[in-house]
Chain A
Amino acid sequence: MTDKGLPVDFSFVLASSVHDMKNSVGMLMQTIEELSASAATDNAEHNRQLSTLGYEAARINGDLVQLLALYRMENQRMLVQLEECYLDEIIGDQLARNDILFRSRNIAVEVDCGEDVCWYIDAELISGMLNNILVNAARYCLSRIKVTANIEDGVLHLIVADDGRGYPESMLTSPTVMRDSVSFTEGNTNLGLLFAQEIAKLHRRGDLHGYITLANGGVLSGGQIEVVLP
C-alpha cells in the first residue's frame, strides 16, 4: 500500500473500467440497432429519439475507444500492424456503420476514392479514427460531408470535409494542444484530434511519419481534416 492513496495504478483501473464500459456500450448500441430495425418507421418522434440514442451511444463508444488507445500508447503497447488495404472498403465500412446517423440527420455523404486506392495502414486504427472524424463531422456539418482518398507523391491523403462553420481559430493554430481550460460545456476536449494525430504518427515509413492538418474552407467551405500517411 502506498501512502498516496490507492494501492494500484489509477490509469490501469481507469483503463479496465473503460474496457468494461466499452463492452456495455457495445451491447447498448446493438440493442438500439435492433430496436431501430424492429420498430416501424411510422412514428417520426420515436425514430428521432432512437437516432439520438444511437448517436450519443456512438459518441461514448468513440470516446472510450480513444481513451483505451491513448492508454495503450502511453504504455507502449500500441503497435501498428500495417497491411495493404483498399481505402474504399475502409471508408465504406465506416459510412455503413454510421448510416442511421447520417440518414436521421439528412446528411449527404459523398465519397471520392478510386477503386485502386490501396495503401499500407493499420486497418483497425485508421477505421476507428475515421469513425471518430465522421461522427464529429456529422455533429458540426450543415448537411454535407465529403470523404476523399488518394495517393500523391507516394503518400496517402485521406480528407474529410464538411459544410459547417469550420474549426475555431485556436484549434487551427494548435490542434492537438490539450488546453488547461478544456471547454467541457462545448463538449469538445480535443481528445479526438489528439488521438488522430497519434495514430497518424504511428504510421511510419523509413524516416517519414504520418500527421494531420486542419483547415477551414476546403471543398465544402466548412471544416476540413486531412490525414497524411506515408
Chain B
Amino acid sequence: MSPNGFEYKRVLVVDDFDNFRTTVMRMLQEFGARSVDTAAHGNDAVSKCRSTSYDLVLCDYNLGPGKSGQQVLEQLRHESLLKHSSLFVLISAESSKNIVMATYDYEPDAYLTKPITAKTLQQRLERLFHQSREMCKVYNAMDDGDLDAAITRCGELLRGQSRVRPLVQKLLGRLLLRTGQFNPAEQLFRKVLQVRELDWAMVGLALAKKGQDDWVGAQQWVEQALSLNPMCMPAYDLLADIHAARGDRQEQQHTLAQAVEISPLSIMRQQELGAVAYQNHDLEQALEAFKNSIKLGEHSCYDDKDVYLQFIRSCAELAPLQPDVAKSYAREVGKSIGEFGNRFGRDGHNDVLLRSANCAYLAATGEQLAAQQLLQELMEQHQESPATLAAQLDWISACEVLGRQEWRDQLVNGVLQQYQGNEAALEMIDRVLENPTSEKNRQRVAQINKQGIAYYEGTDFEAAIDCFNRAVREFPKHVGIELNLLQALIGALEQSGQPHLLKQAKHSCERLGQLVDGEHPQADRLAQLVGKFQEVSQQILRDGEQV
C-alpha cells in the first residue's frame, strides 16, 4: 500500500468530461485510494461536499454550463464545507490571466495544468498530503476555532527545520492579523522582508499598520507592494479601504476600478466597485460594474438581489442625463427584472422592492403611464404599513420625473420623520434631496463651500472651480454648490476670458434652470448670475472677433 496513505483519503473528482473523470479516478485508485467519488457539475460537487467531508477535491476549472471550478471553491469556502486540512486542487487547461487572478481571492491549495500524467499527479498529491500532515496540528486547532493554539503550533513548526516553513510563515501572519496581534505580526513580516522583498509580506505589514491605526504607514507599504507587483490584488483591496477610511471615495473608486480591470472575474470586487461608483454618482461605471456582477452572479453564491436593484436604479438615474447610454443597457435591465423573481423568490417583500425600482426606471425611460399606475398601486398597498426605505426612495425618484410634486413632498417628509436620527438612513435619503440632512453630508457641504469660497475670495478661480466641480459630482442636486460653481466660472471668465470655460458655464446655467423654478429661494441669485454670465460671454465673444 502506498506509504503516503491514499488509502484512507476521501477524494472527489470534478470534471464535466466523463473521460477525464474516469482517467483520474483510475489513477487515484492505482495510487491506493479506495474512496473516490466523482461529480460532473459544480452544483453536484457542492452538494456532495455537503454530505461528505472530503480530504481532497480535484476540480477542473472549466465545468461547462453552470458553476466554474473557481465558483465551486468560492461556495465551499463560503459555506465552510472544507476543513482547513482538506485540499482543493484546481485543474485547468490554461493558465489564462483572468482565471488565475480571479481565483487568487479564494486561493486553491494547488494548481495543476492539463495534461496531467499519472506520475505528476501522484507526486504532487503525495507532497500535498505530506504538507497537510505536517500542518495537521495547526489545521486542527483552526478547525476547532482555537486560533491562539494554532498560532502556538505555527511557532513550533517555525522553530524546527521544516519544509513547510514558507507556508507556515504566511499562515502565521494571517492568524496574527486576524487575532489582532498587530505588533507580533509586524515583526514577522519585517523579518521576512529583511531577507527578500515579497509582495505578500508588504501587504501583511500594511495590514498590521492599519491595525495599529497607522494609516500613513499602511499606505506606504501597500504602495510599495503594488510597485513590486502591480497585479497584487489584496494590495488594491487594502488601498481602497485606506482611501475609504480617509473619506476619499473618488480614490477608492479609482483603485477598485484598477483592480477590476486586472481581475474582472472577481464578483465581490465588481459589486463593491458598483456600490462605490453609485455613491459617487458615477452612474456609467456603476452600471458597468453592476452588469458584470449580475453576469458573474449567475452561478455564484455571492449573487445579491441588491445588486439587481441598484443596476435598475442606476439606469433610471442615468436615463435623463445620458439617454443613449442608458438605452444601451435597456436589454440587460429588462433581463434583470425578468430574472429577479426566479433567483431571489417572489415573496411580498422582494416583489415590492423590484416593482419600486422598476417604477423609477419606467418613469425615467418615458413609460410615464405604466410608471404612474405602478406608483399608485405601490402607494395604495402601503398606506397602512410603510415600505422599506429603498422602495420609498424609488417612489420619490419616480414622483420627481412624473412631476408629482405633492406626493414627492409627502413621501420625503414621511421618510425624514421615520428615519430621524438614523444617520445611515439619512445619508441614503440625501440622494433625493437638494440639501442633505445627514450630519456627515451637511458637514461635507459646509466644508467644500468654505474651501471653495476661500479660493474664490483669494481670486484663485481655477482652484475654486475644481473644488466646486468635485462637489457637484458628490451632490448633484445641491443648488447652492452649483450656483457657487457658476459664480467661480464667471469669475475666471472675467479674469482671463478663457473660451473653454464658456461651455462649462453654459452647461451649469442649463442645469440650474432645471433645478430652480421661480419659487425657489435662490431664484433671484440665479437670475443675477445668468445675467452676469451673458454680459461676460458677450464681451469675450466681441474680444474674440476683434482679434
**Residues on A facing B (Cβ under 8 Å):** 19, 22-23, 26-27, 29-30, 32-34, 37, 77, 79, 81-86, 89, 92-93, 96-97, 99-100, 115-116, 118, 120, 124, 205
CA distance A70 to B96 in the complex (A): 15
Give the nearest-CB partner of A84 in chain B.
B166
The 8 A CB mask of B103-142 against A (1 = contact, 0 = none) is: 0000000000111111110111001000000000000000
B123:A33 contact, CB within 8 angstroms: no
A96:B123 contact, CB within 8 angstroms: yes
B118:A81 contact, CB within 8 angstroms: no
B196:A82 contact, CB within 8 angstroms: yes
Q: A19-B94, A96-B123, A205-B196 known; A30 and B166 CB under 8 Å?
A: no
B199:A37 contact, CB within 8 angstroms: no
CA distance A100 to B116 in the complex (A): 12
Question: Distance in Å from the Cβ of B121 to the closest Cβ of chain A?
Answer: 8
A30:B115 contact, CB within 8 angstroms: yes
CA distance A27 to B17 in the complex (A): 11
A124:B95 contact, CB within 8 angstroms: yes
B117:A96 contact, CB within 8 angstroms: yes
Highest count of chain A CB atoms <10 Å: which of B115, B119, B124, B229: B115
CA distance A37 to B118 in the complex (A): 9
B230 within 8 Å of A by Cβ? yes
Can you sample 30 A-B contacts with CB below 8 Å? A22-B94, A23-B94, A26-B94, A27-B93, A29-B114, A29-B115, A30-B20, A30-B115, A33-B117, A34-B23, A37-B23, A37-B118, A79-B229, A81-B231, A82-B196, A82-B198, A84-B165, A84-B166, A93-B120, A96-B117, A96-B120, A96-B123, A99-B117, A99-B120, A100-B117, A115-B163, A116-B161, A118-B166, A120-B196, A120-B198
B196:A81 contact, CB within 8 angstroms: no
The 8 A CB mask of B464-483 against A (1 = contact, 0 = none) is: 00000000000000000000
B124:A27 contact, CB within 8 angstroms: no
CA distance A81 to B115 in the complex (A): 23
A26:B115 contact, CB within 8 angstroms: yes
A-B pairs, 8 with minimum CB distance: A30-B115, A29-B115, A84-B166, A96-B119, A96-B120, A26-B93, A99-B119, A96-B123
Residues of chain A within 8 A (CB-CB) of B199 are: 81
Dominant secondary structure of chain A at its interface with chain B: helix
B123:A26 contact, CB within 8 angstroms: no
Question: Distance in Å from the Cβ of B148 to the closest Cβ of chain A?
Answer: 26
CA distance A19 to B98 in the complex (A): 13
The 8 A CB mask of B237-255 against A (1 = contact, 0 = none) is: 0000000000000000000
Question: Distance in Å from the Cβ of B28 to the closest Cβ of chain A?
Answer: 13
Give the nearest-CB partner of A123 in chain B.
B111
The 8 A CB mask of B17-52 against A (1 = contact, 0 = none) is: 001100100110000000000000000000000000
Residues of chain B within 8 A (CB-CB) of A100 are: 117
A83:B95 contact, CB within 8 angstroms: no
Question: Distance in Å from the Cβ of A82 to the closest Cβ of chain B?
Answer: 6
Interface size class of B (residues with CB under 8 A): 20 to 34
8 Å CB contact of B115 from A33, A77, A83, A84:
A33
Residues of chain A within 8 A (CB-CB) of B114 are: 26-27, 29-30
8 Å CB contact of B116 from A19, A30, A77, A83:
A30
A79:B231 contact, CB within 8 angstroms: yes
Question: Distance in Å from the Cβ of A78 to the closest Cβ of chain B?
Answer: 10
CA distance A30 to B120 in the complex (A): 12
The 8 A CB mask of B501-514 against A (1 = contact, 0 = none) is: 00000000000000
Q: A26-B94, A37-B23, A79-B231 known; A86 and B163 CB under 8 Å?
A: yes
Q: Could you tell me which residues of chain B, from 208 to 237, have a CB within 8 Å of some CB in chain A?
A: 229-231
Give the nearest-CB partner of B167 in chain A.
A84
CA distance A82 to B166 in the complex (A): 12
CA distance A82 to B113 in the complex (A): 19
A97:B120 contact, CB within 8 angstroms: yes
Give the nearest-CB partner of B112 in chain A.
A93
Residues of chain A within 8 A (CB-CB) of B97 are: 77
CA distance A115 to B163 in the complex (A): 9
Question: Distance in Å from the Cβ of B331 to the closest Cβ of chain A?
Answer: 27
Question: Distance in Å from the Cβ of A132 to the closest Cβ of chain B?
Answer: 15
A97:B117 contact, CB within 8 angstroms: yes
Q: A30-B116, A96-B117, A99-B120 are in contact. List 20 more A-B contacts (CB 8 A).
A: A19-B94, A23-B93, A26-B93, A26-B113, A26-B114, A30-B114, A32-B115, A33-B115, A77-B97, A83-B198, A84-B165, A86-B163, A89-B127, A92-B123, A93-B120, A96-B122, A99-B117, A100-B117, A120-B198, A205-B196
Question: Distance in Å from the Cβ of A26 to the closest Cβ of chain B?
Answer: 4
Give the nearest-CB partner of A89 in chain B.
B127
Residues of chain A within 8 A (CB-CB) of B196 are: 82, 84, 120, 205
Residues of chain A within 8 A (CB-CB) of B26 are: 37
CA distance A61 to B255 in the complex (A): 37
Question: Distance in Å from the Cβ of B128 to the closest Cβ of chain A?
Answer: 11
Residues of chain B within 8 A (CB-CB) of A33 are: 115-117
Give the nearest-CB partner of B118 in chain A.
A37
B123:A93 contact, CB within 8 angstroms: yes
Question: Distance in Å from the Cβ of A223 to the closest Cβ of chain B?
Answer: 26
Give the nearest-CB partner of A81 in chain B.
B229
Question: Distance in Å from the Cβ of A206 to the closest Cβ of chain B?
Answer: 9
Question: Distance in Å from the Cβ of A67 to the closest Cβ of chain B?
Answer: 14
Residues of chain A within 8 A (CB-CB) of B94 are: 19, 22-23, 26
The 8 A CB mask of B253-294 against A (1 = contact, 0 = none) is: 000000000000000000000000000000000000000000
The 8 A CB mask of B430-453 against A (1 = contact, 0 = none) is: 000000000000000000000000
CA distance A84 to B120 in the complex (A): 21
Highest count of chain B CB atoms <10 Å: which of A79, A84, A205: A84
Highest count of chain A CB atoms <10 Å: which of B23, B119, B124: B119
CA distance A83 to B26 in the complex (A): 33
Give the nearest-CB partner of A36 in chain B.
B117
Question: Distance in Å from the Cβ of B226 to the closest Cβ of chain A?
Answer: 11
Give the nearest-CB partner of A119 in chain B.
B196
CA distance A205 to B197 in the complex (A): 8
Question: Distance in Å from the Cβ of B262 to the closest Cβ of chain A?
Answer: 10
Question: Distance in Å from the Cβ of B69 to the closest Cβ of chain A?
Answer: 15
Residues of chain B within 8 A (CB-CB) of A115 are: 163
CA distance A26 to B91 in the complex (A): 12
Residues of chain B within 8 A (CB-CB) of A92 are: 123
Give the nearest-CB partner of A72 in chain B.
B97
Give the nearest-CB partner of A65 in chain B.
B95
CA distance A225 to B120 in the complex (A): 24
Residues of chain B within 8 A (CB-CB) of A116 are: 161
Question: Distance in Å from the Cβ of B17 to the closest Cβ of chain A?
Answer: 9
Question: Distance in Å from the Cβ of A215 to the closest Cβ of chain B?
Answer: 29
Give the nearest-CB partner of B96 in chain A.
A19
Residues of chain B within 8 A (CB-CB) of A19 are: 94, 96
Question: Distance in Å from the Cβ of A37 to the closest Cβ of chain B?
Answer: 7
Residues of chain B within 8 A (CB-CB) of A30 are: 20, 93, 114-116
Residues of chain B within 8 A (CB-CB) of A77 are: 97
CA distance A42 to B18 in the complex (A): 27
CA distance A227 to B97 in the complex (A): 26
